[in-house]
Amino acid sequence: MHLPRWFAERVEPTAPDAELRVSTIELFFDLVFVFTITQLTSLLVGDFTRQDGEGFAGQGTVQAVLIFGLLWWMYSGYAWLTNTVPPERAARRVLILCGMAGFLIMALAVPRTFSGSGVTFAVGYLVIVLVHGGLYLQATAAIARVVPFNLAATALVFAAAFTDAPWNYALWTAALVLIWMSPIFIGQKGFPLHAAHIVERHGLLVIIVLGESIVAIGIGATDGHPGAALIVAALLGLALTASLWWVYFGRGESGPEHALMRAEVVQRTRLILGAYFYAHIPILLGVVATAAGIKKAVGHDHLGLGPAVALAGGTAMFLLGDLWFRRVLGVGRTAVRVAAALLAAATVPIGLWSSAAHLGALVVLLVVMICVETAL
């Protein structure tokens, strides 16, 4: 039995220091992944309106974290995949599109993954695991060490679909722990990565995910008439999102890229794992929580406790994630961001009084932080 020529042909590894830029199909792929982020935001918003007897307190938040954990692992796997196997040939692009289909299936299942759509989610996850492993095999046999962990996590998600609470949550947690701890057993020597591509790919993803906050402004504005108060709240929501963009991108991308380029290949892979996988988890979850808070802040005079915590906590989580990211790479000053994160978390009472004041306080805090960092 012979494999198809396009698949059997080995991909010669590109030198780790060679230039590799993000392709348009990767950006197209990211749009589907961000749709899952939108769905996770809806789970958080569901917590704000949950009635007594409708699950446990914080149920949507727990579900969002568990689902995001598995999705982020495989998204990062695809970012590493296209870093090693550039999707330049038609057959590879078709398989990348199949991976997109898997992500879309999971995104559609997200709202009811823990209450009837668990099998659908697991099927989508199996698709992306198989496509990822198959494409990666063209470049390196090292992926054979990763695939068993991914398949085992998929099996746990399938099992959770046929299990009631709390055991389904236990199985999801086991799946998450299994794949997140797998690098300890796998090692990273078999995955040389191109620094510029990783920096650019994740930077573009952060921009697209921040766009979710802009969408949240529009959704929140549909609940009221475009009067002065609504416009002010919407502009403050935009200013908060722009401030988060400035926090992440204000110093440019050259610092992280140079830090990765200075490291030898194995150390570079470990830095990427720490900075662009683990540290980006609070960054992206912070955006999700902030977007959920903005969605409730626009069009409402004041916030309930849940949306106020989401808005303040999401901003603080983003700052702490960015702090972690920069400490791993050893770039930028970080002390000011610790204080800013603590102050952001303390703004919850403002939201209980006025949603616009809460948005304004967070904008002022971030602008002051940025100005202080620039002056130092």
- Give tens-digit pLDDT for 288-334: 889 888 888 887 788 888 889 999 999 999 999 999 999 999 887 67
Of 333, 328, 189, which Cα lies nearest the Cα of 259? Answer: 328
18, burial (CB in 10 Å: exposed 0-12, middle 13-18, buried 19+): exposed
Give yes or no for a cis peptide into 166 (omega within 30° of 0): yes
In terms of pLDDT, which residue wins out, 83 or 168?
168
Question: Which amino acid does the sequence have at 265?
Answer: V
The sign of the CA dihedral 131, 37, 268, 261 is: positive
Render pLDDT for 206-248 as a digit per residue (tens, 0 to 9): 998 888 778 777 766 665 566 777 888 888 989 999 999 999 9
Does the pLDDT at position 355 exceed 60? yes
Neighbours of 218 (CB within 10 A): 12
d(CA 122, CA 124): 5
Give helix then strand counts, H and E, for the chain. Answer: 16, 0
In terms of pLDDT, which residue wins out, 216 or 17?
216
Tokens of 259: 């830090």
Question: Which amino acid does the sequence have at 374?
Answer: T
d(CA 30, CA 33): 5
Collapse the DSSP code of 13 into the 3-class scheme (helix H, G, I; strand E, B; otherwise coil) and give the result: coil
pLDDT at 281: 93
In terms of pLDDT, which residue wins out, 272 or 54?
272
pLDDT at 45: 74
Supply the DSSP symbol for 263: S
Average pLDDT over residues 119-137: 92
Q: What is the pTM of this model?
A: 0.87
Contacts of residue 54, defined as CB under 8 A and 6 or more positions apart, other chains included, come to none
Alpha carbon separation from 21 to 96, 194, 201 (Å, rounded): 17, 9, 8
Question: Which amino acid does the sequence have at 14?
Answer: T
Of 351, 212, 235, which Cα lies nearest the Cα of 289? Answer: 212
Where residue 178 falls among pLDDT bands split at 50, 70, 90?
A: very high
Q: What is the DSSP string of 26-40?
A: HHHHHHHHHHHHHHH
Kind plus residue range of the DSSP H or E element containing 254: helix 254-262
Where residue 275 falls among pLDDT bands split at 50, 70, 90?
A: very high
d(CA 331, CA 286): 21
Is residue 249 within 8 Å of residue 277, measured between CB atoms?
Answer: no
Average pLDDT over residues 83-95: 81
Highest mean pLDDT (candidates 42-46, 107-111, 254-258): 107-111
d(CA 175, CA 172): 5
pLDDT at 191: 64
Is residue 291 within 8 Å of residue 219, measured between CB atoms?
Answer: no
